[in-house]
Amino acid sequence: MCLAVPGRVTEIEERDGTRMAVMDFGGVVKDVCLEYLPDLEVGDYAIVHVGFALQRLDEESARRTLGLFEELGLLQEEFGDPWEAAQAAGAAGAVGVERGAEEAGR
């Protein structure tokens, strides 16, 4: 799933002619392109999708949305380590195969 997630600008810099920000998404920090919202400043909140800040957002709405995403496990799904997720899924599948084999042997 690919979500538009609210984040807070913590740093801004120019990289190779592109205005970029470091943004905090409830503890997860990512680089974000600010070309669509060039007037964002440090401390501002914005909705980010696939690495681009798309729309300014007020702090209360951002915090409420991040809280809901975290509660639903969507932040981990969106920002979690894909290798870690694949390992966990593989381990869960292996446990299911073992249990199935045990039950079949009864």
Please write the tens of the pLDDT for every residue from 29-58: 999 999 999 999 999 999 999 899 999 999
The whole-model pTM stands at 0.66
Q: What's the chain's length in residues?
A: 106
Cα 56 from Cα 7, distance rounded (Å): 10
Is the Cβ–Cβ distance between 37 and 20 less than 8 Å? no
Domain 5-80: give its CATH architecture: Roll (2.30)
What's residue 35's pLDDT? Answer: 96
* Domains of the chain, residue spans: 5-80
pLDDT band at 1 (very low <50, low <70, confident <90, very high): very low
